[in-house]
């Protein structure tokens, strides 16, 4: 065997040994670094994981101790809140590999939880008040990475947007355009829907807090049917920040 690690068969072997848990720390760190940027390697790992999961699913045993859930709840209450997102790109780049847990912290979680609940109340109130359509509250021009406008997004109310493409967008047959917004960092990116054709489209997403100036909107290229993760995974076609129109 004179092939280096680049040889395809070796990569699938490496994926297998990674999933079995046979790599030492250094090899695993190298592998995970590569995994973060190599879609083909992720596919190989996904294949191995699903294959061996079957062995895990043969396991069975009695119900865990009665207090196990309470112990988890206590740890979760003490743990830092899930990482906030202010940048959709950063979230996309995050590694898929599970790693060591971070140390517990006693602050953050409950404040975040309380704020989320308040936002929920505000959102439902807004939905009630905004039952009738009206002119756009906010307008967003989405730019591509060459700073060229590719689409206009008008936020009509707390859930509906109109998307008006401003340029031809090449969409491969097994792909679709998906529109996202970031209503607030704690919620993370939310899908507003799929753009089935590259022309003006009215989309209705979930009920969200009323859109704000500077709220981020973006369009990404995703697998047909939309992102499998519920978060943006594909390349950004355009993105921009909401502005208040002077009507």
Partner 1 sequence: MLDYAGLVQACARGDRQALRSLYDEEAARLVAVAQRIVRRRELAEEVVQDAFVQVWQKAATFDASVGSARAWIYTIVRHRALNVIRDGAREDLLEAEELAAVQDRASVVEDAFSQLATESRLRACLEELDREKRESLLLSYVAGYSHGEIAGLMRVPIGTAKSWVRRALMALKDCMA
Considering the rule CB under 8 A, would residue 13 count as an interface residue with partner 1?
A: yes
Return the structure tokens found at 123. 């959102």
Distance from C-alpha of 12 to C-alpha of 241, rounded to nearest angstrom: 42
> Which residue among 37, 82, 106, 125 contacts partner 1 (CB under 8 A)?
82
Distance in Å, CB of 31 to partner 1, minimum: 12
Considering the rule CB under 8 A, would residue 233 count as an interface residue with partner 1?
A: yes
Considering the rule CB under 8 A, would residue 108 count as an interface residue with partner 1?
A: no
Q: What count of other Cβ atoms lies within 10 Å of the Cβ of residue 103?
A: 7
Considering the rule CB under 8 A, would residue 87 count as an interface residue with partner 1?
A: no
Give the sign of the dihedral formed by CA 228, CA 208, CA 153, CA 86: negative
What residues contact residue 156 under an 8 Å CB cut-off, 6+ apart? 133, 134, 135, 136, 137, 162
Q: Are 115 and 183 in contact (CB under 8 A)?
A: no
Considering the rule CB under 8 A, would residue 83 count as an interface residue with partner 1?
A: yes
DSSP state of 183: S
Distance in Å, CB of 19 to partner 1, minimum: 8
> Which residue among 3, 6, 26, 61 contacts partner 1 (CB under 8 A)?
61
Considering the rule CB under 8 A, would residue 60 count as an interface residue with partner 1?
A: yes
The span of 38-46, 140-148, 155-163, 168-176 binding partner 1 (CB under 8 A) equals 38-46
Considering the rule CB under 8 A, would residue 209 count as an interface residue with partner 1?
A: no
Distance in Å, CB of 218 to partner 1, minimum: 17
Distance from C-alpha of 193 to C-alpha of 202, rounded to nearest angstrom: 9
Considering the rule CB under 8 A, would residue 90 count as an interface residue with partner 1?
A: no
Distance in Å, CB of 98 to partner 1, minimum: 5
Return the structure tokens found at 17. 């040994």
Distance from C-alpha of 235 to C-alpha of 89, rounded to nearest angstrom: 9
- Our measurement of the distance from residue 169's CA atom to the centroid of its chain's CA atoms, rounded to an integer in Å, reads 22
Kindly report the CA angle at 197 between 194 and 198, in degrees rounded to 5?
Answer: 105
Considering the rule CB under 8 A, would residue 172 count as an interface residue with partner 1?
A: no
Return the structure tokens found at 121. 């109340």
The span of 39-47, 126-134, 147-155, 212-220 binding partner 1 (CB under 8 A) equals 39-47
Considering the rule CB under 8 A, would residue 62 count as an interface residue with partner 1?
A: yes
Considering the rule CB under 8 A, would residue 91 count as an interface residue with partner 1?
A: yes
Distance from C-alpha of 149 to C-alpha of 44, rounded to nearest angstrom: 37
Which residues sit at the interface with partner 1, rule CB under 8 A?
9, 12-13, 16-17, 19-22, 35, 39, 42-43, 45-46, 49-65, 68-69, 71-73, 75-76, 79-83, 85, 91, 94-98, 100-102, 112-113, 116, 186-188, 228-231, 233
């Amino acid at each position: 065997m004179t092939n280096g690690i680049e040889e395809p068969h070796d990569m699938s072997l490496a994926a297998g040994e990674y999933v079995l848990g046979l790599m030492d720390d250094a090899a695993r760190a190298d592998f995970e670094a590569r995994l973060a940027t190599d879609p083909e390697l992720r596919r190989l790992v996904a294949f191995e994981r699903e294959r061996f999961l079957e062995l895990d699913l043969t396991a069975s045993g009695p119900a865990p101790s009665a207090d196990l859930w309470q112990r988890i709840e206590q740890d979760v209450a003490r743990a830092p809140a899930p990482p906030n997102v202010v940048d959709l790109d950063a979230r996309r780049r995050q590694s898929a590999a599970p790693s060591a847990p971070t140390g517990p912290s006693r602050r953050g979680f409950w404040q975040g939880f309380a704020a989320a609940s308040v936002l929920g109340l505000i959102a439902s109130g807004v939905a009630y008040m905004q039952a009738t359509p009206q002119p756009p509250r906010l307008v967003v021009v989405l730019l591509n990475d060459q700073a060229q406008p590719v689409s206009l997004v008008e936020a009509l109310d707390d859930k509906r947007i109109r998307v008006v493409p401003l340029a031809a967008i090449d969409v491969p047959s097994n792909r679709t355009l998906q529109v996202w917004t970031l209503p607030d960092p704690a919620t993370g990116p939310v899908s507003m829907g799929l753009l089935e054709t590259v022309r003006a489209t009215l989309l209705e997403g979930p009920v969200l807090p009323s859109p704000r100036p500077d709220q981020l909107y973006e369009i990404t290229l995703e697998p047909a049917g939309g992102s499998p993760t519920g978060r943006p995974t594909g390349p950004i076609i355009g993105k921009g920040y909401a502005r208040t129109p002077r009507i």
